[in-house]
C-alpha cells in the first residue's frame, strides 16, 4: 500500500467549482490534493461532455450547407469537438497538477472516516487525509423506468452522442426540457430525423405557454416532430411505443436519448462513513454556506441539488472560498436574478419570474411582448438572417422594476445578462428602454419592446 498522503484541503471531483476553489487555495498557500475518478473528466462536465462540446455542435450544425454530406460533415464536426475538448482536458490537468502545492490523483474516492478517503484498491490503494474537504462530484443522467429501455441497443446518453462519429439516421428524445430540446435542434440541423416526446401538454413546462408555443413552432419549422401529452411505454426492437389521447403509437428509431433529468453522483462515495447527510434523491444536504452535516466538508455544484449550471458551481466556489479565506459572509441566499439559456437555434434565455408565476403570486404587473420579426429597433436580426423568436418582459406595475424576462432570439444568451444585472441593481424598465446601446445590436431591442404592452 502506498504511503498515506495529507493535505490542507482535499477536493473530490474535478468540476468547475472544485477546480476554481483548488486554484485559489493553492495560490493562497494551501496544500491541495484533488481526486478525479476519470482521466476523461479533468475539468468536469462542461469542457468534456457538457457546455463546450454541445455548443460547438450547435455552431457546427448551423454551418452545414445543403450540399454537404450529412455523415461526413457530422464526423468532421465531432473530430473538431474532440480536438478542443482534449486540449481543454490536458490544460485543466496541467494547470493544477503543475503547481508546487497541488496534486491530481485519478481514481474513485471512498470515504473511510470524516477526514479520510481511499482511492483505488489493493497494493495501489492510496489514502488521503485532510482537515477540510470539498465534494464536487457532479450529476449523472437519470434513466427512466421504461420497459425495454435499459437493455435496448438504441439507448444513448448525451455523453455518447457528443463523442460518436456516426450520425443517427433517426433520433427519438424522451423529454422536452432544456437538454432534450438542445440535442433535438443540434441533430436536426446535422440532418437526422428527430422526434421529441414530452409527457406534459407543452414543451418546457415551466415556461409561459406563449413562449413554449413559439419554441415549438420554430422546432417544427426546422422539421422536428414534437409530440406532447404523451407517455413512452416501451422500447421494442427498433421502435419507441408511446400513448397519446388513449391511443398507442409507434415510431422507428436508430437511437433513443432519455432527457428526463439528472441526479447527484454520490453512490459509492461512502458518505455514511463520513457522517455526511444526503437527501432522499441522493444529493448532499448543505446549508446556505454549502457546509454539509460535517462542518469541515463542503459540497459544490450539481451534487448539492442546487441549480445544475456551470456558473452556479463557480459561484459555489466563491461561497466556499469566502468561508475558507474570506469573511464568511457570502451565501446561496445572496443569489438573485440568475439567468438560464437553452441553446436551441435561436437560443431561449430566461431570468426571474414568468408571467404565470407572477400572476399566481397576485402581483400587479404589466407584460411587454413583441415578436423579433416585428422589432424595428433590432436590425441585427435581419442582418444575420435570424428573425424568428419573441421577447417578453414581466414588469412590476408599481415600481417599474423588471421581474422576469423570456428572450427567444439571436444573441439572447448575451442580452439576458444585461437584463439580469439590471434586475440585481434595481434598474427600471424605463431606464433599460431609454438607455444607449450600440447599433446594430440585439440589445437595442430593449429600446422598443418595453413599449409593447399586452393585456
Give the pLDDT confidence of 36-82 residue by residue, as tens digits. Answer: 998 888 888 888 877 889 999 999 999 999 899 999 999 999 999 99
CA 379 to each of CA 345, 350, 371, 375, 430: distance values in angstroms, whole numbers, following the listed order: 18, 22, 13, 8, 21
- Is 256 in contact with 149 (CB distance < 8 Å)? yes
What confidence tens digit (pLDDT) does each residue in 219-253 have?
A: 999 999 999 999 999 999 999 999 999 999 999 99
Q: What CATH number has the domain spanning 158-260?
A: 3.50.50.60
Residue with cell 455518447: 160
How high is the pLDDT of residue 1? 58
The residues annotated with a catalytic role in the active site are: 439
DSSP 332-363: GGG--S--EEE-SSS-EEEEE--HHHHHHTT-
Establish how many alpha carbons lie within 13 A of residue 50's alpha carbon, considering only the half-sphere containing its beta carbon. 22
pTM assigned to the model? 0.93
List 174's β-bridge partners, or say none.
197, 258
- Is 321 in contact with 21 (CB distance < 8 Å)? yes
Nearest Cα neighbor of 220 from 184, 251, 179 is 184
Nearest Cα neighbor of 47 from 93, 10, 11 is 93
Which grid coordinates are listed for 395? 414588469
- Is 443 in contact with 414 (CB distance < 8 Å)? yes
Higher pLDDT, 307 or 199: 199
**What mean pLDDT do residues 181-206 have?**
96
Is-same-fold flag (5-140+263-334; 158-260)? yes
- Share of residues in the chain with pLDDT > 90 (%): 90
How high is the pLDDT of residue 41? 85
- In this structure, of 51-65, 194-208, 281-295, 319-333, the range with the lowest mean pLDDT score is 51-65
Q: Is the pLDDT of residue 431 over 90?
A: yes
CATH architecture, domain 340-454: 2-Layer Sandwich (3.30)
What confidence tens digit (pLDDT) does each residue in 13-29 have?
A: 999 999 999 999 999 99
Instruction: Give the chain's mean pLDDT.
Output: 95
How high is the pLDDT of residue 327? 96
Could you count the other beta carbons within 10 Å of the beta carbon of residue 367?
20
Which grid coordinates are listed for 41? 473528466
How high is the pLDDT of residue 454? 87
What confidence tens digit (pLDDT) does each residue in 148-158 have?
A: 999 999 999 99
Chosen CATH of 5-140+263-334 out of 3.40.50.970, 3.50.50.60, 3.60.20.10, 1.10.1660.10: 3.50.50.60
Nearest Cα neighbor of 84 from 58, 110, 48, 116 is 48
Pairing of strands 402-408, 390-396: antiparallel
- Is 108 in contact with 119 (CB distance < 8 Å)? yes
Three-state DSSP state, 192: coil
Every domain of the chain and the residues it spans: 5-140+263-334, 158-260, 340-454
Q: Is the pLDDT of residue 300 over 70?
A: yes
Q: Is the pLDDT of residue 213 over 90?
A: yes
Amino acid at each position: 500500500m502506498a504511503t498515506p498522503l495529507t493535505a490542507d484541503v482535499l477536493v473530490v471531483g474535478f468540476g468547475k467549482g472544485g477546480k476554481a476553489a483548488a486554484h485559489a487555495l493553492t495560490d493562497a498557500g494551501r496544500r491541495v490534493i484533488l481526486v478525479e475518478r476519470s482521466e476523461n473528466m479533468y475539468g468536469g462536465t462542461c469542457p468534456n461532455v457538457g457546455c463546450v462540446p454541445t455548443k460547438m455542435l450547435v455552431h457546427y450544425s448551423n454551418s452545414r450547407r445543403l450540399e454537404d454530406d450529412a455523415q461526413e460533415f457530422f464526423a468532421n464536426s465531432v473530430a473538431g469537438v474532440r480536438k478542443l475538448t482534449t486540449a481543454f482536458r490536458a490544460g485543466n490537468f496541467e494547470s493544477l497538477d503543475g503547481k508546487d502545492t497541488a496534486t491530481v490523483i485519478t481514481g474513485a474516492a471512498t470515504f473511510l472516516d470524516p477526514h479520510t478517503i481511499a482511492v483505488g484498491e489493493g497494493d495501489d490503494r492510496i489514502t488521503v487525509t485532510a482537515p477540510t474537504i470539498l465534494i464536487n462530484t457532479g450529476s449523472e443522467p437519470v434513466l427512466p423506468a421504461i420497459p425495454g429501455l435499459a437493455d435496448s441497443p438504441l439507448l444513448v446518453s448525451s455523453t455518447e452522442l457528443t463523442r460518436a462519429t456516426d450520425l443517427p439516421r433517426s433520433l427519438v428524445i424522451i423529454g422536452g426540457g432544456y437538454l432534450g430540446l438542445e440535442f433535438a435542434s443540434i441533430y436536426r440541423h446535422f440532418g437526422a430525423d428527430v422526434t421529441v416526446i414530452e409527457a406534459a401538454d407543452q414543451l418546457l413546462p415551466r415556461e409561459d405557454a406563449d413562449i413554449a408555443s413559439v419554441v415549438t413552432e420554430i422546432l417544427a419549422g426546422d422539421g422536428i416532430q414534437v409530440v406532447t401529452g404523451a407517455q413512452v411505454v416501451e422500447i421494442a426492437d427498433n421502435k419507441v411505443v408511446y400513448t397519446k389521447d388513449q391511443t398507442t403509437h409507434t415510431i422507428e428509431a436508430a437511437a433513443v436519448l432519455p432527457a428526463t433529468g439528472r441526479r447527484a453522483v454520490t453512490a459509492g462515495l461512502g458518505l455514511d462513513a463520513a457522517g455526511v447527510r444526503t437527501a432522499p434523491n441522493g444529493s448532499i444536504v448543505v446549508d446556505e454556506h454549502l457546509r454539509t452535516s460535517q462542518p469541515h466538508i463542503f459540497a459544490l455544484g450539481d451534487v448539492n441539488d442546487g441549480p445544475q449550471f456551470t456558473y452556479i458551481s463557480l459561484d459555489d466556489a466563491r461561497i466556499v472560498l469566502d468561508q475558507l479565506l474570506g469573511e464568511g459572509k457570502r451565501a446561496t441566499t445572496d443569489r438573485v436574478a440568475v439567468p438560464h439559456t437553452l441553446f436551441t437555434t435561436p437560443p431561449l434565455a430566461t431570468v426571474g419570474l414568468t408571467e404565470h408565476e407572477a400572476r399566481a403570486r397576485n402581483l400587479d404587473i404589466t407584460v411587454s411582448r413583441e415578436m423579433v420579426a416585428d422589432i424595428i429597433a433590432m436590425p441585427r436580426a435581419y442582418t444575420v438572417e435570424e428573425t424568428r423568436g419573441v421577447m417578453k418582459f414581466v414588469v412590476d406595475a408599481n415600481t417599474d422594476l423588471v421581474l422576469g424576462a423570456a428572450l427567444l432570439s439571436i444573441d439572447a444568451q448575451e442580452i439576458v445578462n444585461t437584463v439580469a444585472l439590471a434586475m440585481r441593481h434595481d434598474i427600471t424598465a424605463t431606464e433599460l428602454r431609454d438607455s444607449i446601446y450600440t447599433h446594430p445590436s440585439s440589445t437595442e431591442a430593449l429600446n422598443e419592446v418595453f413599449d409593447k404592452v399586452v393585456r
